[in-house]
């Protein structure tokens, strides 16, 4: 499993959440692909979006579904 961080940071959590929703709409339901998408806060107080990808869905499907 690998975290992918999008390079853009946002000033508010609302902006990051809107970007997250647009990603989910563009890529379909993340849970069906074994992915998690979430908002995180940096130490400086800005917000970003990260996605957890599972490389081998057949062997890691149990871990990704939890």
**Mean pLDDT for all residues in the chain:** 79
> Contact at 8 Å (CB) between 55 and 2?
yes
Beta pairing class for 36-41 and 47-53: antiparallel
Distance (Å, whole) CA 20 – CA 44: 20
DSSP 49: E
pLDDT digits (tens, 9 = 90+) for 4-32: 888 899 999 999 999 998 888 876 655 55
Give 60's contacts (C-beta < 8 A, 6+ positions apart). 1, 34, 54
Read off the pTM: 0.67
Which run of H or E residues covers position 36?
strand 36-41
């Amino acid at each position: 499993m690998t975290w992918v961080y999008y390079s853009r940071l946002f000033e508010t959590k609302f902006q990051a959440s809107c970007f997250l929703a647009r990603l989910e709409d563009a890529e379909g339901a993340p849970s069906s692909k074994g992915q998690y998408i979430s908002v995180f806060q940096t130490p400086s107080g800005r917000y970003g979006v990260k996605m957890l990808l599972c490389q081998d869905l057949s062997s890691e499907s149990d871990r990704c579904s939890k």
